[in-house]
């Protein structure tokens, strides 16, 4: 089975890290085609996964670009489509990992007569996309795609609610290798010292800095916690959200949080950093399609609190494997932080249970097994 993976992004977002995990499985029989240079390409190269970057003007099209803006870019992207079609002739299936790449992949697949799979990792709703882009995504998926693999039931429901054909969809959760998240306890002690966190109750956020990831809600929650609670904001603005980053810095000053908040930027050592946290907080203000960070915290045996929306509801069993709080509710979030601080032994029991659960229910082997099963089926679909 030879797969051509297509992703428009050059950055290391959750969609790209998930693709990396699957591409590793197909290392000897795949090509990852990207439409931008960046850290994702470097990472694929480091891991020996074949990658090719096709550059274009496409990165100018945003999720909220108008239909006409998107259409006017078509002239610039036609050569790109032709190139993708040419490359795909050497592969059995084209698997697209993002909405933009799905649009290009769809046209390329019509030229090269290769079946197209859309790994849908977004909640297709007005929270995340404008109407025209939603319509385009659903219309193309319904007509050109052999299978829409979705990263959660929430993503599946949103696709169907937006007019997508339910029978096209198949849920395949993201998978993880538990061993990659294990750290010797002395690492955490040393890292705590390096970061000046001794004696602190540390709450970590491990999401890119973006308004809908809700870091501002966590900062507000911190004002309802005692002085020995510190927040680590791990992650950077990956898609140009610099105004939000400035707003967060300003919020820290306005709320007088001073050195109780540490901005660590994008880090490659997420599991080590999760190891120094007493709690991981996932604070998305719009439904999260899946939320890799939640399973990663579980695998690090760090307790997790997350906002109750989207795919998150499929990952956490409240009060058994983590905590759920309403969206945009800083007071409730602070309540969980304080509860965890006051009853660490109870939090440790929940974290241990979550570890057991996640290491079985979200194992990468199972994700790759299901994915390859579907790829074999798609390959044998008639009419391509």
* Residue 323 site contact among ligand UDP, ligand GLC, none (CB < 5 to 8 Å, cut-off depends on kind): none
DSSP string, 67-123: HHHHHHTHHHHHHHHHHHHHHHTTSSEEEE-SHHHHHHHHHHHHHHT--EEEEE-S-
Q: Directed axis angle between helix 344-361 and helix 330-342, to 10°?
A: 110
* Residue 151 site contact among ligand GLC, ligand UDP, none (CB < 5 to 8 Å, cut-off depends on kind): ligand GLC
If one counts every other C-beta atom within 10 angstroms of the C-beta of residue 110, the result is: 15
CB 292, CB 358: distance < 8 Å: no
Asked if residue 296 binds ligand GLC (CB under 6 A), the reply is: no
Asked if residue 245 binds ligand UDP (CB under 6 A), the reply is: no
Among 287, 291, 303, 322, indicate the residue that binds ligand GLC (CB under 6 A): 291
Residues 73-92 touching ligand GLC, rule: CB under 6 A, are: none
DSSP string, 236-286: --SSS-HHHHHHHHHHHHHTT-GGGEEEEES-S-HHHHHHH-SEEEE--SS
**Least Å distance between CB 291 and ligand GLC?**
5
Among 13, 115, 310, 322, indicate the residue that binds ligand UDP (CB under 6 A): 13
The span of 80-88, 128-136, 292-300, 356-364 binding ligand UDP (CB under 6 A) equals 292-300
Among 113, 131, 180, 267, indicate the residue that binds ligand UDP (CB under 6 A): 267
- Closer to ligand UDP by Cβ: residue 89 or 180: 180
Q: Output the CA torsion 111→113→119→120 (10° steps).
A: 50
The span of 7-15, 195-203, 225-233, 339-347 binding ligand GLC (CB under 6 A) equals 7-15
- Closer to ligand GLC by Cβ: residue 159 or 201: 159
Asked if residue 14 binds ligand GLC (CB under 6 A), the reply is: yes
368-to-23, 114, 223, 289 alpha-carbon distances in Å: 9, 21, 43, 19
**Least Å distance between CB 218 and ligand GLC?**
17
- Closer to ligand GLC by Cβ: residue 11 or 53: 11
Residues 140-179 touching ligand GLC, rule: CB under 6 A, are: 151, 174
Sign of the alpha-carbon torsion through 47, 49, 50, 54? negative
């Amino acid at each position: 089975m030879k797969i051509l993976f297509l992703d428009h992004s050059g950055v290391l977002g959750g969609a790209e890290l998930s693709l990396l995990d699957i591409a590793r499985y197909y290392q000897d029989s795949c090509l990852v085609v990207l439409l931008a240079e960046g850290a994702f390409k470097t990472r694929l190269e480091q891991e020996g996964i074949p990658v090719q970057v096709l550059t274009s003007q496409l990165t100018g099209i945003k999720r909220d670009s108008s239909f006409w803006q998107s259409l006017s870019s078509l002239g610039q992207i036609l050569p790109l489509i032709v190139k993708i079609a040419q490359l795909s002739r050497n592969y059995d299936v084209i698997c697209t990992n993002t909405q933009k790449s799905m649009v290009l992949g769809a046209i390329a697949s019509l030229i090269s007569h290769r079946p197209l799979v859309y790994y849908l990792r977004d909640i297709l709703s007005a929270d995340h996309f404008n109407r025209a882009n939603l319509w385009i995504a659903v219309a193309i998926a319904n007509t050109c795609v052999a299978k829409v693999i979705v990263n959660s039931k929430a993503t599946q429901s949103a696709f169907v609610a937006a007019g997508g054909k339910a029978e096209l969809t198949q849920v395949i959760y993201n998978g993880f290798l538990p061993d990659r998240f294990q750290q010797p306890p002395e690492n955490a002690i040393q890292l705590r010292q390096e970061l000046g966190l001794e004696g602190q109750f540390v709450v970590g956020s491990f999401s890119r800095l973006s308004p809908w990831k809700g870091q501002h809600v966590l900062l507000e929650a911190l004002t309802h916690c005692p002085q020995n609670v510190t927040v680590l904001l791990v992650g950077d603005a990956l898609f140009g959200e610099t105004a939000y980053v400035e707003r967060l810095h300003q919020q820290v000053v306005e709320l007088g949080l001073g050195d109780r908040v540490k901005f660590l930027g994008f880090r490659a050592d997420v599991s080590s950093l999760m190891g120094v946290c007493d709690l991981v907080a996932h604070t998305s203000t719009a439904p999260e399609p899946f939320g890799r960070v939640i399973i990663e915290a579980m695998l690090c045996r760090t307790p997790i609190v997350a906002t109750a929306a989207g795919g998150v509801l499929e990952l956490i069993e409240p009060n058994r494997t983590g905590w759920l709080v309403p969206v945009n509710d800083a007071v409730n979030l602070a309540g969980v932080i304080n509860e965890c601080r006051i009853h660490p032994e109870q939090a440790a029991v929940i974290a241990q249970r979550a570890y057991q659960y996640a290491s079985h229910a979200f194992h990468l082997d199972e994700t790759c097994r299901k994915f390859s099963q579907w790829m074999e089926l798609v390959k044998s679909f008639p009419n391509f």
